[in-house]
Each structure stands twice: as structure tokens, then as C-alpha cells.
Structure 1
Amino acid sequence: MNALHRLSLPLISGLLIALPVYWAYPENLTPGRNAAIVAGWVGVGLILAGLLTMLRPPRVTEWLGGLERLYRWHKVLGILAYLALLLHPLALAADSWEESPQQAWSALDPLQQGWPGWLGWAALLGLMVGVGVSLARRLPYDIWRASHWLLGLAVMLAIAHLAALGHTHPLLGLPILALAFMLWQALRGGGLNARPFIVDHVAHPAADSVDVRIKPLTLPIEADTGQFVLAAFGAGPDFKGCGEFHPYPLTGVRLDGQISLGIKALGSCTRQLQTLNTGVAVRIQGPFGDFVSQDNVPPAIWLAGGAGIAPFIAKLRKGRLPSPTRLIYLYPDDAGAACLDELEELASHDAGLHLETRETGPRAPNLKAILPQASDLTGWHCHLCAPPAMLQAAVALLRARGVPDRHIHFEPFDFK
């Protein structure tokens, strides 16, 4: 990621926050009321910036730093928006404190307020619940996705709150614009922009893993191995589809437009996909990322954990690597290992590839002993694809051993 990509989200978010505050900055008011109004419009700007991170056109996503980065920013901006909007009534109460504690409490107590106050508190409550539920990691996907509609409800209530207060400022159009964007994004997320495919072949390279080859029904996507797509599988004659968009790595791309997806059983939907059969309809969004690209880069270390071997073996199938590469493949047992024989065959024909395979058992692997020491990491790029816990441990260890962030590349496939 270059400097422009790293600065894109901070700059755009700052602009979306600064413009409403600049246009709506109050004059001739007390400091407390100034702070309250500014906090409210900062919250609106943060919500707009958060909605921006929901964009998924591949080129826009890549320019903004990748889908996983957008997801992390979306969570952070949502939390900050809630805090800014919470500051709005607190600043009003603080401004009234000098008059009397009772006056301050009346600014916070919904029972002492009319419709404008009730609508404002309802909007804040909707945002609070939506942010809290969306951050829960072990919620069912349907509940997690439905929680985002609370944000839409909060935006509508915020518009009603401003209208009830008698605001006619042109900036009232910003929340309306945000609401329109959310509705449009919901239609897109439901598959309005997805390409139709159909399952053509299903294979099981390892336990709880399935490799699915799908063919396009209209135009194919322009993709390369090592990237990933968002796919939603429908129902078939003997298969009950889950219909949810999840990220899957591309394990193969054919000239006729067919692509292969590697799917590991990690949750209810992906476990259901282990029984997938041919003829099932699939909707595809993407492609995204390419964290194992080796175009004009120094030597690389690839760390694969379990099903994380998928993007790496896809690159190896394309031919000899342009740079020396050390592939470390960690798997729990032989049943959970994918394509070991093929990996050894590919390594035997590529002098630039050094293959290390390790059976780790049910416990977490000892990455301190497995990954190279700091002196052997200088100048190397590290590409990681593994379960979340292993991925986080590996990134932390590489940073501790002096590897700069710009040399650590990964795409976690666990985000919703």
C-alpha cells in the first residue's frame, strides 16, 4: 500500500467531518452550546465517512486500501460517531449547569422534553445498539447484518429531530443523503451489482474444506489467483443455500472465465457449503485484494495455516515464482491438510521455492520457533493467510522482530 492509499481514508474522513462543522459553526452562543452543536455535526460527518467505507466496487476498494481496511475503519468510525453524538446532549447539560443542576438535568431527562428531545434520544439509542451489536464477534450472521438497519433508523430519527427543532439549514440534506446511500447500498448488498455464476464442479481436498469451480452465466470477472471474491450461494435441487455474501479466496482462474473458490468450514454458512453440489446458482462481487502478488518484489516468506494454503497454491499453479520464496505450511493433521502431494510436486520443479510443511496438532503452533529470526527477515516480504488467532500472533511476532508494516501482507477472511 503506497502513501496515497494510506492517507486516502483519513483525508476523506477529515473532509467529511470538517465541511459540516465549518458550514454550521454557531456564532454568538455560549461555549457549551457551541460544543454541543459542533459535536452533533461531527457525528453526522463521521456517519457519512462510515457509510463511505461500505463501498465495494473493486477499483474504489483497492484505491482506499482494501476491503479489510475499509471494514476496520467502518467499525472505528461508527464508535466515534456514537461518542460524538453522545457528547451533544452532555454539552447542553454542562452549559445549563451554571443556571442550576435541575436545568442541567432537564437537558438530559427525556421525560422533561418534548418530541424533539425524544427523537434525539431515540436516534442516539438506535446508533448505540447498532454499534454495540455489530461489534459482537460471535453473533449469527443474520443478526449481525440486521443490526446495521438500526443505523438507518437512527439516521431517520436524527433527521426528524432536526426538523422538529425547526432547522432549515441546507446541511439537513446530509443526513438525508446518508439515508439514501444506505438504501442504495442495501440494494447493492442484496446482489444488485453481483455477477451470476453456477456451480460446475465440487471437490474435497481436505477435511472440512471444499474447492468449488463455478462458471459465469453472463460476463466473467477479471480476476487473478491470490485475490478473493464475495460470493452468495443460492438453493439447488438438493441443497439449501444460505444466500449470504462471504469472502472466499480464488484458487484458480481459467481462460474460459471459470473460477475456483477455496471454502473452509468456519461457521454455519461455510459448513453448510461442504455439502454443495453442481447446478447451484452463485452471485459474485469482486475481485478484491492480491496480497500474494510477487510482481517486482524482493524475496518472500509465505505463511499458510490450514485452509490458508489456498491463495498460495493458486499462485504456484501459475508457474515458477519470480523471486526466492519460503513457504511455511502449518496444518493440524493429515486429514486437515490440503494438496500436500501437489505442493511437494510443485516445489520439486521450482528451485526458487523452499517448502516447509509442519503438522501442528490441535494446539496453537510455536511461531517463535517456526518463523525466521530477525536477522533472517531483513528485506523480505511476509505474506500471511491463516486463522484469525494465528494471523494476529504472526503479525505481532514479525513486528517485534523488526519487519515493517509495509512488508507484512495479509487478507483475513473472517470478517463478515
Structure 2
Amino acid sequence: MAHTEVTGPDPAGRPRAGKARASTTWLWPAIFWGGAAMALVPWAVRSGHRFAADPLIGTGRVAGILAGYLIAVQLILMSRVLDTRLLSVWHRRLGAAVFAFITVHIVFSTVGHAAGRSLADQTLRFLYGYPWLLAAYVGTALIVMIGLTSIRAIKRRMRYETWYYLHLYAYLGTALAFAHTIMISTDIKGIARVFWIALYGTALTLAVWRRIVRPVMLATRHGFRVSDVVQETPDVTSIHIGGRRMREFRVEPGQFLWLRFLTRNDWGQAHPFSLSAAPDGHRLRVTVKALGDHTRGLQEVAVGTRVVVEGPYGSFTAGSRANKDVLMIAAGIGITPIRALLEEMPPGTVVLYRARSESEIVFRDELDELARSRGARLVYLLDGAGQDGGAPVDADGRRVPEELTAPGLARLVPGIGDRDVYLCGPPDLVHRVTAELRRAGVRDRHIHHDPFEL
């Protein structure tokens, strides 16, 4: 089977990737830990001296404060104000911490107050004898439900639409838990109450701004509409979006947008899509694979359909790299941001594109032409079980590894440890290949993910 490995000189006058942006990865952890300290100081001043005498209740109170603080942080993360690489890691880790602290708060507080009564009796006393505790239990149940549905093994078995709408209950659950925190906690008084109101007020303001106000402003200014629909493969479609003053809409190759297509069936939900081509000042292009009800419906979206755009988001961009040389790895529909990024990458960039068969390769002609014009090396890795059969080979007929293992990557891409690596594909493959890249000598800070699926 013939596959094309295309290389060529870099054309004069084409854009080069800029220097990597200055790192601010220290800033957000500093703010996070500073906020946690501020949340705990009132407890330390008012109740800390009683901890030794009643450690169960003290532990329950500290856990409750930390749970409330982390819930507010999660809401801020959900507004997508942070770099998405940090967001994907923090959101996942903090979700587990919220669940743990809530459990400790409920169990330790109930046991500590029981004083010889049964736990069931004490729970009923809480529910009927303390204001806002019933609301807190309901809010906690909603937050726990959201946490459970975010576990990868469970999430994979759910329709995206179901998962999306369930997550909207995070706001209701948070409101109920917040009322409990503010109204009955003896540690949150005076200036401490001002801190908590400001914290949750900030989270709410950011959510409203990023999810409602700014998209409405963008829609008013640009009037986004579907301008063209192109069938790339039987189950992959590119959607072109045009509008007014498109040069003023700042978005970079590799970033993604949350798009809401205002059709009868799709207006109520937004989905993330990466750009599949660098913006040209006239229109944007996203490419969609039919994986669920929503994406199948978009295969036939009508030209002229209005689109609400939220974003752009993401640091999966050329400006994030620190090294001169680049490796990009794509699998399946993960080729979309890689295809856009290739327009800005330096000569000598290597692109590995894994697909099940040659018929499932998306943008074949565009990728070949870009590889020639950008001076890149492009290798297609096809599964031997694909309908076109055969072991994966490159243009010169050399065998390439069936799996993207550390030894295989090192053979295929000499000097891989000195490259920035951009990786996009199905989550399981991304996690597996990330581990192999580390084994091959690539540093974590040089591995860039497109994380919107997280």
C-alpha cells in the first residue's frame, strides 16, 4: 500500500510560530493556596482552640470549609477563565477532593454531635432541627451525582447531551450548599462572611459573563451564521462559519470554540469544536465527526443557520512551544486542531496521523500540500485491521510501529526528547501515548494536549 511522506522547503514569507508565552503556572497555585488559607483563618481564630477537646466536630468543620471553598473554585474553573491545560487537570483532581471533604464533613459532624444517639437519629435532628441543612443535603446529593457522572468509565457510557444537562445542576447544588454555609456556620461571621460572599459572587459573575453575556455580545457584533457545509468523508463534515467583522474576532489555530447552532433540535446545547483550519479573516472552519445525536444532526445543518459562539479557549497553540522542533500526533478526528496548527509550525515539523484505514483519513490532500509547503514530514499510521489492510508504512516503504510506543517513537522521530509534542485524539489513546512520550524522554512541560473533551 502506498502512503505519502511529504517534505519540502519552507516558503518565504509564511508566518513563523512566535516565542513561547511567558509561564505563569506559579500564579494560579499561589492564588489557590492563598484563598484556602483565607478560608481557614476564621475557623482557626474562632474554633481552633477547641479542636483538641472535640476533634471529630473540628475535623468535620474544617472539611466542610474546604469543601465549600473547592466548590467555589470548581465554579470558577467551569467559567473557563484559566488556561485549559490547567483547567483539565485541576477540575478533575479537585472534583475528587470535593467528594472526599464532603464525605468527611458529613460523617465526622454526624458522629461528633451524636453523643450516644444513633447516626440515623442524629441525621434526623440535623434535618429537622437546623435551618438550611435539608437544602444542604439536597445540594450535596446533586454535587455527588455530578462527580460520579464525571468518572471516565461512567461518562463514556452516557450520551454527551445527558452528561451536559446533568452538569448544569452544579449551579443549583452549589446555591443550596452555599446557603447552608453562610446561614448557620458559626465560623463565618463578619469579614469572613464578606470573603465567602465575594468568592461565590466572583464565581457567579464569571459564569454569567463567559457563558451568557460575552456570547450575546459576540453574536450581536459578528452575526455568526453557517456559510458552507462540506462532506469530508461519509461520517465527517466541515462547517464553515462566517459573519461580520470577522478579522476582529481573535482566535488562533489550535484553539476551540463552544458552538450553539440555533436549529429546532440543537439550540439548547453547546458543544466544543476545534478549528480545523487557521482563520483567514473571512470565516472559521470546524470539522465534526458523527459520534452522537447532536453531531449526526450537524451533518445536515442548513446554510444560513445562526450560530452562538463562546470562546475562544485553549493554549494548544504554536505560541505554547518552547523548542525549535515539533512533533504532532493525531488520531481519528483529533487531526482537526493538528491540521490547523500545521499552518503555523516551523520547517522540520513531524506529523504522525493514525487512522483505522486509508478511507478514514480526513484532509488527505490538504495535509499533503501543507507538508510540502511548510517543509514538514507527514506519516500516516494505519491499523493493519483496517479495510485497506496491510501493515503501516511511510512513503519510502519503511515499516513504522503498530503502536506508538517509546521505542517506536524514538526510531520514527530522532531527537524526540528535544521536541515539543502536540497530541490530540481519543482520551484513552492520549493517556497511553503521553506515558510513552515520557518514557521516550519528552518532558511533561513539552507535551501539549487539546483537553476540551475533559
- Normalised to the residue count of structure 2, the TM-score between the two structures is 0.76
Pair 1:114-2:129 in alignment: yes
1:11-35 C-alpha deviation (Å, 9 max, x unpaired): 2222222112102321442242322
Change (3 A) 1:317 1:39: closer
Structure 1 residue 296, shift from structure 2 partner? 6.7
Identity among equivalent positions (%) equals 25
Q: Structure 2 matches for 1:192-203, cutoff 5 A?
A: 192-194=213-215, 195-196=218-219, 197-203=224-230
Structure 1 residue 104, shift from structure 2 partner? 6.6
Q: Structure 2 matches for 1:336-351, cutoff 5 A?
A: 336-350=360-374
SS in 2 for 1:225: coil
Q: Structure 2 matches for 1:68-147, cutoff 5 A?
A: 68-95=85-112, 101-102=116-117, 106-108=121-123, 114-116=129-131, 117-135=133-151, 136-137=154-155, 138-147=157-166
Pair 1:223-2:251 in alignment: yes
- Which residue of 1 is the match for residue 381 of structure 2? 358
CA contact (8 A) 1:225 1:314 kept: yes
Counterpart of 1:314 in structure 2: which amino acid?
A: A
Counterpart of 1:192 in structure 2: which amino acid?
A: V
Quick one: distance in 2 between partners of 1:4 and 1:313? 26
Structure 1 residue 145, shift from structure 2 partner? 3.0
Q: How many residues align?
A: 400
Counterpart of 1:384 in structure 2: which amino acid?
A: L
Change (3 A) 1:243 1:297: farther
Counterpart of 1:152 in structure 2: which amino acid?
A: Y
Change (3 A) 1:414 1:198: same
Counterpart of 2:226 in structure 1: which amino acid?
A: V
SS in 1 for 2:303: coil
Structure 1 residue 258, shift from structure 2 partner? 1.7
Change (3 A) 1:82 1:401: same
- Which residue of 2 is the match for residue 209 of structure 1? 236
Structure 1 residue 242, shift from structure 2 partner? 4.8
Aligned counterpart for 2:277 among listed residues 252, 257, 261: 252
Counterpart of 2:409 in structure 1: which amino acid?
A: L
Unmatched segments (≥5 aa) in structure 1: none
Structure 1 residue 179, shift from structure 2 partner? 5.4
Aligned counterpart for 1:304 among listed residues 312, 315, 330: 330
Structure 1 residue 379, shift from structure 2 partner? 0.9
Select the structure with the greater relative contact order (CA < 8 A; seq sep ≥ 6). 2
Quick one: distance in 2 between partners of 1:272 and 1:37? 49
Quick one: distance in 2 between partners of 1:20 and 1:13? 11
RMSD of aligned Cα (Å): 3.3
SS in 2 for 1:6: coil
SS in 1 for 2:237: strand
Change (3 A) 1:362 1:109: farther
Pair 1:6-2:25 in alignment: yes
Pair 1:152-2:151 in alignment: no
CA contact (8 A) 2:76 2:207 kept: no
Counterpart of 1:337 in structure 2: which amino acid?
A: I
Structure 1 residue 177, shift from structure 2 partner? 4.8
Quick one: distance in 1 between partners of 2:178 and 2:280? 51
- Normalised to the residue count of structure 1, the TM-score between the two structures is 0.83
Change (3 A) 1:356 1:87: same
Counterpart of 1:41 in structure 2: which amino acid?
A: I
Aligned counterpart for 1:23 among listed residues 26, 42, 47: 42
